[in-house]
Chain A
Amino acid sequence: MEVKMEMQANHNLMTGKGPLAEFVARFVGSTSAMIGLILLCILIFAAVFAPVLAPYNPYESNLPEALKGPNAMHIMGTDELGRDILSRTLYGSRISLLVGIEAVTLALACGVILGALAGFYGGKVDTMIMGVMDIMLSFPSILLAIAFMTVMGRGVEKAVIAIGIVSIPQYARIVRASVLSVKENVYIMAARAIGNNDKRLIFVHILPNVMAPIIVRATIGVSVAILEAAALGFLGLGVEPPTAEWGTMLGAGRQAIFSAPHIVTFPGLAITLTVMAFNLLGDGLRDVLDPRLK
């Protein structure tokens, strides 16, 4: 596969194609990236068109139908309140994707700035920023997210903040390391010599050149964020009921697994597929954007 991608890249070079065309060619040549992308497109489609695709109202209780296994009326069965699990799983994709992407965006925004400042200025700024990052990394991230949620209370936005904050150090570290290696390059010295200020040096000349590892990390980071959001929901610290969210559905259905195992099977499968899509996409992007990281 790698050889195929390499040949394609060389071919592009000879035929004079630009970097974007080369990226697309490499991306299409990567099996894992393509499988991940297709899976992700299906998930986004399900999330966007959930109101059309869902056969029932995901919030409507129907107690006489409670805990029914998969049948012709309810393909994935019903939960402890008689709600249709397929409809709730479809709606749940909205929350999971939203939390995953928003949390990573928050972490990226803070992590890139902090990492760039630490790497660019070094000295006391570096020691102070990375000291705080090291302390945050001294806790397993899910434990830190649990602590934040305990303090802040439940809710989608709070889950985004908790997961976003605990992910900052990972991005800060990657950006700092990349900035440290890039800032010594001759073109940065040249940019400084012609009078660019620090802000311009960081944002225009340095950051665009360290984007590859950041994009790869962020893609895989979304899968981690989705897993953490599901874990918070499972522990009863995620969204407020009756919002349909996969982790919360698993947590609520836990008590019924002896009589109705289907209640936890489908939301869990949905989490696994979503996380797998981002992992595959991340692995593929890593091969395409930065083969050295492989």
Chain B
Amino acid sequence: MIKYIIRKLLLLIPVLFGVSLATFVVMHLFTTDPAEIILGQHATVERAAALREEMGLNKPIYVQFGDYMVSAVHGDLGKSVITKTSITDELMRRFPATVELALAAICIATVLGITLGTISAVRQNSIFDYGTMVVALMGVSMPIFWLGLMMIIIFSVTLGWLPSSGRIAIGMMPDNITGLYLLDSILTGNMESFSDAFQHLIMPALALGSYSTAIIARMTRATMLETIRQDYIRTARAKGLSERVVILKHGLRNAMIPVVTVIGLQVGSLLGGAVLTETVFSWPGIGSYVVEGIMASDYPRVQGAVLLIGTIFVVVNLIVDILYSYLDPRIQHM
């Protein structure tokens, strides 16, 4: 097991290097000259040349990449060309917001997806089964940003139940411990903040988790249908176990391996989806930071955020691989 993990960790190095190189090369093909963005189109040629020199943009691209990698390894992703603030600091400040949103979305997707999928399989061909599968089909077909907009129209504009944007109301922020507002409010016993943060979180998390819920429900249904037809399930029933124990202990447990993989893979799609969900709900996370960077032609900002998301994605996939091999030891030998 340890050998397998070490091998996987070593493989991470070339992939992360490739991710950094790809991000750097793509972003340096950027058509707008950063010096022009900072100084405006009417700056003198000398002034622009001096700024390019100062920013190191006159150096050969491989030297620039080398410098960037050395800084990145030391945790410095450069400065925003617009705000002049440290990109690492800004990403660290926004990171908990994206983590909180993604965690809430994956929790909703896992609980809802597994529950709906299991009930559907147990009651195959019932109205519940058909209903769930239609909803799941809608879930994989609906653009999450549109679902978000529809939720705002129904729950914020029409019913006035939930706030349409932001992460928490002004003045309600709990003391910063982890940066995750729900957790921080519980840790500090601030229930008012908890309630406010929860109300802000519920719509973005549901919208972001909708696609994953549908995928997990479909996968759980398919694997459960296969599992509950196995001989050992018949044996469990024959020895007089209750239906609940048969389904949950003997069925669901054995159906979980492919479902866990799908849940892991969903983390990646959640990171991509966060870019859209955060934009719809003005959620102050990394996703909206990328979009704001694009709108402002602030390429170091986009580069830093894309690199961070790529790295998280690779690391999460590694964790899923390891978890998978733990659940199914045959994987290590493949």
Binding site for B on A (CB under 8 A): 131-132, 134-136, 138-143, 146-148, 150-151, 153, 223, 227, 230-231, 234-237, 247, 250, 254, 257-258, 261, 264-265, 268, 271-273, 275-276, 279-280, 294
0/1 interface trace, chain B 67-99, chain A, CB 8 Å (1 if under): 000000000000000000000000000000000
Bound-state CA distance A271–B290 (Å) is: 24
Asked whether B141 lies within 8 Å of A223 as measured between CB atoms, the reply is: yes
Tell me what chain A mostly uses at the interface: helix, strand, loop, or mixed.
Answer: helix
0/1 interface trace, chain B 290-334, chain A, CB 8 Å (1 if under): 110011000100100010011001100100000000000000000
Bound-state CA distance A265–B30 (Å) is: 35
Q: Which residue of B lies closest to A236 (CB)?
A: B295
Q: Which of B18, B140, B149, B271 contacts A140 (CB 8 A)?
A: B271
A-B contacts, 30 of them at CB < 8 A, read: A131-B18, A135-B22, A138-B15, A138-B19, A139-B22, A139-B310, A140-B268, A140-B272, A140-B273, A142-B275, A143-B290, A147-B302, A148-B26, A150-B30, A151-B27, A151-B29, A223-B141, A231-B145, A247-B143, A250-B143, A254-B149, A257-B149, A264-B150, A268-B150, A272-B142, A272-B143, A275-B142, A276-B137, A276-B141, A280-B137
> B109 to chain A: closest CB distance in Å?
16
Q: Which of A135, A142, A234 contacts B272 (CB 8 A)?
A: A142
Asked whether B146 lies within 8 Å of A142 as measured between CB atoms, the reply is: no
Is B245's beta carbon under 8 Å from chain A?
A: no
A153 contacts which chain B residues (CB < 8 A)?
Answer: 31
Instruction: Beyond the given A150-B30, A268-B150, please list 4 additional residue pairs across the A-B interface where CB-CB is below 8 A.
Output: A138-B317, A139-B306, A140-B275, A231-B276
Q: Which of A134, A257, A279 contacts B140 (CB 8 A)?
A: A279
Q: Which of A140, A148, A261, A268 has the most CB of B within 10 A?
A: A140
Bound-state CA distance A273–B142 (Å) is: 8
Is B122's beta carbon under 8 Å from chain A?
A: no
Q: Which of A135, A146, A230, A294 contacts B15 (CB 8 A)?
A: A135
Asked whether B294 lies within 8 Å of A150 as measured between CB atoms, the reply is: yes
B299 contacts which chain A residues (CB < 8 A)?
Answer: 150
Contacts A151-B29, A237-B294; is A141 near B18 (CB within 8 Å)? Answer: no
Contacts A250-B149, A268-B150; is A230 near B19 (CB within 8 Å)? Answer: no
> A282 to chain B: closest CB distance in Å?
10
A139 contacts which chain B residues (CB < 8 A)?
Answer: 19, 22, 306, 309-310, 313
Is B111's beta carbon under 8 Å from chain A?
A: no
Contacts A250-B145, A261-B153; is A138 near B279 (CB within 8 Å)? Answer: no
Q: Which of B14, B23, B141 contacts A275 (CB 8 A)?
A: B141
B146 contacts which chain A residues (CB < 8 A)?
Answer: 230, 250, 264, 268, 271-272
Contacts A142-B275, A143-B275, A227-B143; is A257 near B152 (CB within 8 Å)? Answer: yes
Asked whether B143 lies within 8 Å of A138 as measured between CB atoms, the reply is: no
Q: Which residue of A lies closest to B317 (CB)?
A: A138
> A7 to chain B: closest CB distance in Å?
18
Asked whether B149 lies within 8 Å of A138 as measured between CB atoms, the reply is: no
Is B39's beta carbon under 8 Å from chain A?
A: no
